[in-house]
Amino acid sequence: MPLHVIATAKQVMDPESPPSAYRVDREAKRVVPHPATKIPPVINGFDENGIEAALRIKDAVKDAKVTILAAGPSFSMDVMKKALAMGADEMVLVQDPALDNVADSTVTAKVLAAAVRKIGPFDLIISGRQASDWDNAQVPLGLAELLGVACVPVTRKVEVKDREVVCERILADGYEVVSAALPAVVTVSNELGQPRYPTLRNIMAAARKQPTIWKLADLGLAPADLAPRLLVMDLYIPEKTSQCELIKGENEEDSGRLLALKLREAKFI
């Protein structure tokens, strides 16, 4: 059987767009696009690095298949099909309104794990190190735990040799080489390098491919299974205020003396 690599991909708001393009809905505790803007979403940047890592394995192993897996309330097909245009073979989307505004990593990991089990046997799951919207970096770890496989986080190079995944894992002062038996989960950072550009041939092939779309019910999950473990108490833009007081004395020496007295009163010195 061919080596089966699953690459996860999350559709997110474009992190390169200006802050003015979005607003905070404090009642719903979420960030929403401003009504006057129409900036399309993108695939999470680290996930594109993960897709590139999966495609490099496919290039090296030859007899390999890459499946893209994503979960969310809705998807822009023009955005998600970029992964197919890069060279992935198949795409599975778990699309359900019940996944709207799910910021809980446990819920996301549970949905992805159920989808992986439905997809069938796999050898390797590759994810981006974190998503640019919440930056939790928890979903791949939870996914590995639910599937009962090893996880190698934050890598810059991923290879498959003799039924093992061999990774260069990033450290603060360099890297270490880590291997794990397949199946396994690996997260990839941007140190892997730039993702490849889709070729015209792959773009045309991707246009003809239709993703497999599942609802939560197709995975045996109900909305009750999505009870979050993370409770968002409030979401707001921090307000910054500043106050300036000018201290003037009869001369520089007197100004310094008055400043010292003021700082002592404020218990700064």
**Tell me, what CATH number does 9's domain have?**
3.40.50.620
In-domain check, residue 231: no
Residue 27, both tokens? 């009642």
> Do 115 and 84 share a structural domain?
yes
DSSP 252: H
> Do 265 and 150 share a structural domain?
no
In-domain check, residue 234: no
Count how many residues are written for the chain. 269
Number of domains in the chain: 2
- Each of the 269 residues of the chain gets a pLDDT tens digit; together they read 889 999 999 999 999 888 888 888 888 888 888 877 788 899 999 999 999 999 999 999 989 999 999 999 999 999 999 999 999 999 999 999 988 876 689 999 999 999 999 999 999 999 999 999 888 899 999 999 999 999 999 999 999 999 999 999 999 999 999 999 999 999 999 999 999 999 999 999 999 999 999 999 999 998 778 888 888 888 888 888 888 888 888 899 999 999 999 999 988 88
Domain carrying residue 14: 3-226
> Do 35 and 142 share a structural domain?
yes
> Do 255 and 137 share a structural domain?
no
> Do 140 and 8 share a structural domain?
yes
Q: Is the peptide bond before 41 cis (omega within 30 degrees of 0)?
A: no
Model pLDDT, residue 241: 85
> Do 255 and 161 share a structural domain?
no
> Do 254 and 163 share a structural domain?
no
> Do 244 and 216 share a structural domain?
no
> Do 143 and 101 share a structural domain?
yes
CA distances from 260 to 162, 253, 255, 265 (A): 71, 11, 9, 9
> Do 138 and 221 share a structural domain?
yes
> Do 246 and 219 share a structural domain?
no
